[in-house]
Every structure is written in C-alpha cells, then in structure tokens.
Structure 1
C-alpha cells in the first residue's frame, strides 16, 4: 500500500516536524559525545517521512524554516538533557542554501540565547546537497565560529565533500561517509586503504573523525581497530525520539575490546594497521590475533605466518605477511580476489 501524499510546505506550517536523535559515540567506551538531530515529518496517517523523502522538494525559504524549527527543538531537547545531568552535545544539519542566508548566524545566536545553551555545545553539520559557494558562505561560517559554534563537514568521501574542501573551510569535525566502507565485504583491501586514509587525515589535521553508517558490529570493530575515535550507525543505535535519549544514555557501554578480536574483519584490520612494513606490537602470546587463530585455525600454516610478524624487525622475505592478509581477506570476502594487503 502506498503512503499518503505529503505536502512538506503544509507540514512545516502545521508544526508536524519532529526531531529524532542518533548518537555519535566513542568507539572504545561506547559513551555518546554528540546526538545528531534528524528531522522527520508526521504524515496525516501518523507515519513518519525521513528527510531524504521530503527535503528535496523544499525551496530555499522552506529550508530556512526547517532549519530554524530543527534548531529550536533540538536546543530545547539539549537544555532538558543538561537539566538531567547528561553531558552531551547536539548537532543540527545545515543546508548550504541556509548557510548562504545572511541571517543564519543571527538565527543561531538568538536560539542559543533563548535556550541558554553554550555555543560550543552546538555542532552544525554542513549538508552536501549542492556545491558550496566559498566566497558567499565563508563569512557566515566565520560568524558562526565567532559565536563559538562548531562546524562539521558531512559525508566526506562522497558527492561534493572532497578532501580539498578542508583547505577552504575551518571544520571542527569530520564525518566519513558510509559509502567509503560499504564495499568492505567485496573488496576489503581497497576499502581498508580508503577508510584508513580518511581516518588518518582527521588525525593529521587535528580534527576528530566520525565513521558514519556503521550498520554491523563487524564494521564497527573494523573502524575502531583502524583508529577512528567516533562512530555512528544502526549497530550503535537507530534514530530515537528525543524523550528516549536519557534512558539510552544511561545504558551505554563499551563497544569494542581491541585486545579480544572476534571476527575475521577485525583481525584483518589489525594486520592492516600493524603489519605493513613493520612488526606487530608486543610478543606473540599477547597479540589478539593469537587468541583468534586458536579458535579459527585448523592446523594450517597460518600460525607460523603470524608468528613471523612479531619481533624487533620483520624482514618478510617469504611473504608470510601477504599470505596472512590473503587468508584473512578470503574469509571476509570469499572469491573476491584482488590485491593483497601486506
């Protein structure tokens, strides 16, 4: 059965916008640092339309109105959480069209004042629905930073979000798009290369990075092993009503134990990090790969390949590191072939 038709303009005017919250968490501790506010429109039949379903039909005036509504309701939720003693920040999506409006920073300043929120508690995520006019919008970004508001580049690795944009805009948070890693089970080597490069980029520019779209515990572990400080996705939590945030936050727990790797994907990522041209850290008995192989290796030479990767200096003339990576990759993506990692 098709869903009832949706008139976004009327829904905005009728106040049928609701904000759902999805946490961005520390990939080791599991503690949320930011909740991203995601707009939904309530249909006449009570069902919800996601932003992807209604935002494309909005004009610039509608986008401005949606941003102001989302900002107001998100900051109201944050004020409530702060009153409960919950120490998190909030992020709100910002379309380039609204960023280009000269009143944008004034809207933000007024909303922060009305809800008595410190500016640094607010992150504005710049959506990549279209190209950004650098000359037109830099002044607004400067004004927002002057307020103390933080800015995030969304969906890095796809669309208009290119690495070159980091040179032109002063972003405080980097969000790595899910498309960067969605080919992991078919092309693990190239995916690890792309994802680790973008994570390292965040480290090099001294900006925290968030890996988006972590839909499985397997991929969540891979991101953590590669050194991503933050993650977001269904494997952590689906978007939830703002009222559900306090209870969810109270139950947050550690997500990844990097000393106890449980999947071929996580072990492959560990070997990618530590086995390229240098030795695995520590002695063999303490290595998390050792315990993993004890459970999953059936008398093959894999153990010796792994042992060869430990020591003060590894000279892998026999190519054991490559053989180990190929063996692990074959379990992640059977039959995929492609270049080896080591």
Structure 2
C-alpha cells in the first residue's frame, strides 16, 4: 500500500478489488471514506513508518500528512508519556497483536492530549505483518473528568486539602519512601482549641473561614516534601517526611516553630471580625512510635490528649510516648472448625459447628480456577446446615466479630491444607467493614496469616458494599492489610448502594457484581446488558478485576464473558462445597467457557449490542463471527439479515435493528 493510493486527491489506480467488496468500491472511495471519519487514522508499513494519515489525525495532532509520511509516530510521545505504556505498545506490535489503551501524547504545538489508541496489525496470506492501522481518539475531556472526580474523592471541598483518603495515600507513600531511605516520618494530629466557640459566637461561615485560612497558613509553613491534610471537623494531619534519624526531634521542632508562628498571627474574618486561634498537637515518629498508619495515629492521638490537658503557650505539642501493651492475638490452638453455642435472639438458640463452604471463582476466558470464596455455614448436630441469614441475625455484635475472625482463620487453614496437596489456591472472605473498627483488627488477621503460613496475597477481603465504609479506624486497619499484600474486593456493587465515592475511597482489586443483576434479564434484556456493560467498563477504567455472581446457566455465562467480565461464580460451575472436596473437584471437573462459540440468544444479543455500541474491538469477518453459526442454526431469514450486516456494517442500520428485535424476542421466549 502506497501513500498515493490512499491520497483522496490522486486519481484512482487500477488494482484488484479486495475480497468482500463490491466492484464499485475502489481504493479512492475507501480513502475518501477514511477522510470523513471523526477519529484519527494512521497507517504504517511493517517497519512502522507512516504511509498515510487522515484529516481527523491532523485535526487532533496538528501534523499534516506531508510532514509525517516516512516517519515513526514516536513524534507524538513526550517527556510525560508513560514509559510503561510505550513498552506495552512495543510488545504488542512485536508480537503482532492488537494494542488498545490510553496514552498521553503531544500535539505539534507542544500541548498534551489523552489519546485512546487502538493499533491493529494487518497480515498477508502467509501470516506476515504488512501494515499497522491505528485509530486515535482524543479523550482528554473524559480523562480529565475522571481525574477531577478522583481528586474530589480524595480532597476536602472546603479547604482543598487532602481528606481522609488523601491522607492515607500520602502517608502510605511517605512510609514506603522512609523504608527505602531509612529516614524518619513525623505524623502530627493538630486540633483547634475552642473551635466550637467560634462557630457559636460568629456563625459557621466564620468557622469555615478559619479552617480555610488555617490550612493555607500551615501549608505555607511546610517544606517541599511535607503535607497537611484535613480529614474532617477541626482536625488537621501533618506529615513531615525525610527527617534525619539522629536529628528528627530537632528538625521537627523547627517545622513546628514555623507553623506556630503562622497560627498565632491575628486572623481577621469577613466583616472585620478578628479571632485568636490556639491549637494543640500530638506527634508520633515513624518507625519508633509506630510501624504503620494505624499505630502512628493511635500514638499521636494519645499525645494530642496530653497536649490538650497541658495546653501550654510554648509547649503546644506533645511527642508520643511508648505504646501500651500489645493487643490480643488469635489463639494459637485455633482449629479449622470451632464450636458455637450462643444464645442470640430471645427465642432462638443456635448450636453447631462453624465451617466454611467453598465456591469456585472461575476465569471466564480460560476456565481456570485459582480462587474460592469462603461462605459461612453452621452444621447442626443432626447434620443439617444453617445458611448465614439463618444464624447471623441472632448474634450480638461481639459474637458476630468472633464468628468472622474464626471464619477467616478457618478459610486460611484450608488454603494451607490445599497447598500441602500441591494446589496454590487463594480464598476470599466476606467481612463487614465495621469489623475493622477495633484497633487490634489488622493484627488479628496478620496473626492468622502467620499461624497458618499463608502468603497475604492469597487472602482477599470482600467488603459488603451495602455497608458504610467510613470509620477512621476501619480505614487504617484495611490500609495496613493492603500494604501487607492482602487483596480487597468490593462486594455486591449492583445491589443499590454503590457510589463513585465508594469505589474510589479504598484500593480495591476486584469489584463484584451482585447476582440480582440478572433478575430481569429475560424481560428487560437490553437494560440489564447495558448496566452490566457499564459496571464492567467502570471496573476496567479503574484497573479493577470484575467478577459476576449468579452465573447459573450458559446464557448468563455468555453475556458476562462477551461484555468483558474477568471472573464469574455460580451454580453453572459449582455449588458451594465442603472445603475437603475442593481438591478432588479441581482435579476432576472441566469448567465451561465461551471461547468463540455463542449458543444462546442472550449471549448473541450481548455480542451484537457490544459491536453496535462500538466496544473498541474489530468486527470479525463473517466466517469468523460467532453469530454466523448461531443464526444459521436458528432461522434462514434472520441469517440473511446478519449477512447483510457484514456486507455493510456501518450503513445497514435497518439490519442491525432487525437483529436486535429478533434476539430480544428470542431471549424473552416469544419465538
């Protein structure tokens, strides 16, 4: 393919018409068609030298075709372009596979834009790469909006300072850096004295002014690598990093002196009201006063209490003292099963053995199984099983905590047993977030991991999305476990409580889509497919894995896999089983996968919908389209409609609508 062939201003060149095109579709017509599309298009030879670009490419980048022909499109890259993304592109092109991703590129005028880039190799009859075709789409607005939302989720809207989530991220980075450099990090909890009196005497707008001004003053007094945050109320958090271990106390005192000087300066509010501000602060040093964010906050909080009691004009902050005795740990004689004999609700007595049944989580693309979800059951003396909704409501909060802790230990114990039999498996356990409100909660999990010898990366905690996840102590305990390597899953995301804030405030690895999303799959198929696709896309955009629950038949499997979900679980694969049966199940069962074969109307509808909506993947030729065999075995007339779609995929809207209607009726059982 030459540059002149694709130039719409060059007379047509006589050459064979590609298979599948009508004789009147000339290369000139194809070139002119490319000039009308809104997405930038670039074609290179096998050596990645540019031979064609369309007008939209010029509109997006500012580069004319005559300026770039013969060059490698590396000219779009710049100093802020991700080296990792560049390497991913190189790896895909070298392997002859499709690359799709978002990359920061540079226009001709030096400005940056976010480019949603798809690069597809073209092959000759012998399977050799002849060209690469790239499609460029400027997605700067959507990326910046996502960044704006992420910033809003991690920053206080009043002061613009990091909020609790932002504080967690900053402290995590500071501690990691300190581990690498051997430096000391000081964490200060700063609290305004008598702030309530300002609100009472001058009104809440005046109180807001004080918080905004105070945050700005403290920020101006800090060094370049230090941070101030406002997690809430009248409390500020200081993170003073890179302190010399031999001079940390004195270096912090110098920073505190500058902060104090800014705080005591007279503050005049709107309307000429002048207020005097005094503060107290407790300070903990990493690693002497704590080894993680949870223990540092606890130490600083104790010191703050002491400082408030003294409330001195000069010694306004207090350094932490050694922590009290260590919290209780998991009992070392804990076994895989624990006896329960609790008197819960007044008229209900639960007696039996707690055990964790296991349900496989399946890779929907390969059929492999490396993880199981642990589901609590109580086996009664008569051999019957009680489900969680039959016994959990009968327990007090204290008893519930014990149930969950023993359940986690039980699950980890089985992971260790499976490993002894040669199977490296992981386990996920459902836990309510408030379980981690206790200051010793993270240590209990750590003790269970150490006792069973299980690597932290093989434990996932599934936080129920129908619960609040905003307790400070809970956040700190979870943060500590994530730093250790424990995975975090957001459970039941489609059950009605999900918000963007929830998804962004904790470092999740996986989001799980509740099984009830399939409740109306036959009566409102397109609505369900659209919602499922949107949640799956949300997970992909955030870099999360996506697991679909409730896969109980082939059609749900096909819908989930076609829409891009990574994992699934449900009765189609296996019902929850006793943990002692897991190894035999893995060694004897072949798990169904979709691959390239679609056999159900719902699966076909999901595939057709995703292609019509433009999911970014190429439309396969008719002979490789998974719907060809499906329609051929279903109805001759509808098969012909499908053929028309392939003859004119961009322009045959009528055929697309006919296919959608037929598939919806078929899915609803009216054919």
Normalised by the length of structure 2, the TM-score is 0.46
The answer to whether residue 476 in structure 2 is matched with residue 139 in structure 1 is yes
Conservation of the 8 A alpha-carbon contact between 2:449 and 2:455:
yes
For residues 215 and 257 of structure 1, do their structure 2 counterparts lie closer, same or farther at Cα, with a shift above 3 Å needed?
closer
Show the counterpart of 1:269. 606
The answer to whether residue 644 in structure 2 is matched with residue 308 in structure 1 is yes
Please give the residue correspondences for 1:38-187 in structure 2 after superposition, counting only pairs within 5 Å: 38-128=375-465, 130-187=467-524
Residue number among 194, 212, 215 corresponding to 2:552 in the alignment: 215
Residue number among 626, 648, 655 corresponding to 1:320 in the alignment: 655
Conservation of the 8 A alpha-carbon contact between 1:8 and 1:58:
no
* Alpha-carbon displacement from aligned partner over 1:101-141 (angstroms, at most 9, x marks no partner): 22110010000000111100100111245323243421111
The answer to whether residue 582 in structure 2 is matched with residue 245 in structure 1 is yes
Unaligned runs of 5+ in 2: 1-339
Unaligned runs of 5+ in 1: 1-6, 337-342
Conservation of the 8 A alpha-carbon contact between 2:434 and 2:474:
no
Q: Which runs of 4+ in 1 moved over 6 A?
A: 11-15
Q: 1:155 offset after TM fit, Å? A: 0.3
Q: 1:277 offset after TM fit, Å? A: 5.3
Q: What is the aligned residue count? A: 327
Conservation of the 8 A alpha-carbon contact between 1:280 and 1:310:
no
**Matches of 2:455 and 2:433, distance apart in 1:** 24
The answer to whether residue 620 in structure 2 is matched with residue 282 in structure 1 is yes
Q: 1:41 offset after TM fit, Å? A: 1.0
Q: 1:276 offset after TM fit, Å? A: 2.5
For residues 331 and 42 of structure 1, do their structure 2 counterparts lie closer, same or farther at Cα, with a shift above 3 Å needed?
same
Task: Provide the secondary structure at the position in 2 that maps to 1:275.
Answer: helix
Q: 1:253 offset after TM fit, Å? A: 2.7
**Matches of 2:341 and 2:607, distance apart in 1:** 47
Which has the bigger relative contact order, CA under 8 A and spacing at least 6? 1
Q: 1:69 offset after TM fit, Å? A: 0.9
Conservation of the 8 A alpha-carbon contact between 1:23 and 1:232:
yes
Conservation of the 8 A alpha-carbon contact between 2:466 and 2:492:
no
Please give the residue correspondences for 1:8-19 in structure 2 after superposition, counting only pairs within 5 Å: 9=342, 16-19=353-356
The answer to whether residue 569 in structure 2 is matched with residue 236 in structure 1 is no
Conservation of the 8 A alpha-carbon contact between 1:33 and 1:89:
yes
Conservation of the 8 A alpha-carbon contact between 2:461 and 2:489:
yes
Task: Provide the secondary structure at the position in 2 that maps to 1:309.
Answer: helix
Normalised by the length of structure 1, the TM-score is 0.89
Show the counterpart of 2:78. none
For residues 163 and 236 of structure 1, do their structure 2 counterparts lie closer, same or farther at Cα, with a shift above 3 Å needed?
farther
Conservation of the 8 A alpha-carbon contact between 1:208 and 1:229:
yes
Residue number among 287, 291, 297 corresponding to 2:629 in the alignment: 291
Show the counterpart of 1:340. none
**Matches of 1:265 and 1:169, distance apart in 2:** 34
Task: Provide the secondary structure at the position in 2 that maps to 1:247.
Answer: helix
Conservation of the 8 A alpha-carbon contact between 1:16 and 1:42:
yes
Q: 1:314 offset after TM fit, Å? A: 1.0
* Alpha-carbon displacement from aligned partner over 1:76-107 (angstroms, at most 9, x marks no partner): 10001111111220111111221222211001
Task: Provide the secondary structure at the position in 1 that maps to 2:645.
Answer: coil
Of the structure 1 ranges 24-33 and 323-332, higher mean CA displacement relative to structure 2 is found in 24-33
Show the counterpart of 1:332. 667
Task: Provide the secondary structure at the position in 1 that maps to 2:356.
Answer: strand
Conservation of the 8 A alpha-carbon contact between 1:28 and 1:254:
no
For residues 31 and 246 of structure 1, do their structure 2 counterparts lie closer, same or farther at Cα, with a shift above 3 Å needed?
same
**Matches of 2:350 and 2:526, distance apart in 1:** 49
Conservation of the 8 A alpha-carbon contact between 1:275 and 1:309:
no
**Matches of 2:500 and 2:661, distance apart in 1:** 30
Show the counterpart of 1:22. 359
Task: Provide the secondary structure at the position in 2 that maps to 1:138.
Answer: helix
Show the counterpart of 2:562. 225
